[in-house]
């Protein structure tokens, strides 16, 4: 296969590169690290990138300048060499001089300004742990990182006041039948809280596991919501059957 740089590359030589970017494959020895790179990659960072490349392959190209100096992906380059790669996907930027250097700084800085939603991240890590331990190793968080994150979440929850739950007491001749809905992820839980306009309560975390919390929704309210949704769906179906485009969304 001849790529955009006129290199003859066999597919089996670049299997670790995501297929849609294999046309950007270039001999890794042609590239060089940026001596003026303001972003420092410690060995821990390079090891994490290498673990990701080994598990997922190269998913995005690195970027280089006219003289083959890497402007984005110095850490990826180091990790790829550590893995013994001979080829790497990379493309030449159309920017030059100060503009290219400024873009490289901006690219790193904009990533740095982002933060993690720890609840969602912890749910994802828990899901990875239950399906494939290799995924946990490949996402760049060490066992200590994960342990520290959960410990901080425990401490935060313990320091916040917890709303007391009202007991459900039955009067004579009353009885309640129950349908229990279990939420195994934060998204579903938050959706139900908002949908049924339920009061919120801080979640508690135990030493070894996350402790669930509950809220009660009267069956009449649930049935009313379901009927409203069924009516809305039937209305949309009628509009579609009549060839009209629905004006509202579910």
pLDDT in tens, 113-141: 888 888 888 888 888 887 888 888 888 88
Three-class secondary structure of residue 92 per DSSP = strand
Which of the two residues, 218 and 59, has the higher pLDDT score? 59
Residue 149 tokens, joined:
């994150």
Residue 196 tokens, joined:
């049924």
Indicate the DSSP class of residue 185: S
pLDDT for the residue numbered 215: 63
| Confidence band, pLDDT 50/70/90 cuts, at residue 84 | very high
pTM value is: 0.58
C-alpha 18/C-alpha 26 separation (Å) is: 14
pLDDT for the residue numbered 198: 72
C-alpha 102/C-alpha 235 separation (Å) is: 54
- CATH number, domain 11-112: 3.90.1530.10
pLDDT for the residue numbered 190: 76
Nearest to 196 by CA among 230, 232, 221: 221
What values do phi and psi take at 100, rounded to 5?
-65, -40
- Which phi-psi region, left, alpha or beta, contains residue 52 (left: φ > 0; alpha: ψ -120 to 50)? alpha
Nearest to 210 by CA among 129, 139, 119, 130: 119
233-240, Cβ contacts within 8 angstroms, sequence gap of 24 or more:
none
pLDDT for the residue numbered 97: 93
pLDDT for the residue numbered 160: 58
Nearest to 75 by CA among 109, 108, 45, 37: 45
Indicate the DSSP class of residue 27: E
């Amino acid at each position: 296969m001849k790529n955009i740089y006129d290199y003859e590359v066999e597919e089996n030589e670049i299997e670790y590169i995501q297929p849609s970017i294999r046309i950007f494959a270039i001999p890794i020895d042609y590239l060089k690290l940026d001596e003026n790179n303001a972003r420092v990659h410690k060995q821990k960072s390079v090891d994490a990138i290498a673990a990701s490349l080994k598990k997922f392959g190269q998913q995005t190209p690195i970027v280089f300048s006219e003289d083959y100096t890497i402007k984005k992906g110095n850490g990826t380059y180091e990790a790829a060499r550590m893995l013994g790669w001979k080829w790497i996907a990379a493309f030449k930027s159309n920017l030059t001089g100060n503009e290219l250097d400024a873009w490289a700084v901006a690219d790193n800085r904009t990533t740095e300004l982002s933060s993690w939603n720890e609840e969602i991240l912890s749910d994802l890590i828990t899901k990875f742990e239950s399906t494939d331990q290799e995924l946990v190793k490949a996402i760049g968080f060490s066992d200590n990182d994960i342990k520290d994150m959960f410990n901080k979440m425990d401490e935060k929850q313990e320091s916040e006041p917890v709303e007391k739950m009202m007991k459900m007491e039955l009067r004579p001749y009353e009885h309640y039948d129950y349908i229990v809905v279990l939420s195994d992820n934060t998204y579903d839980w938050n959706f139900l809280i908002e949908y049924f306009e339920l009061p919120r309560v801080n979640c508690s975390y135990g030493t070894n596991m996350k402790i669930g919390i509950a809220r009660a929704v009267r069956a009449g309210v649930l049935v009313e919501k379901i009927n409203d949704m069924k009516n809305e769906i039937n209305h949309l179906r009628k509009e579609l059957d009549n060839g009209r485009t629905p004006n509202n969304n579910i």
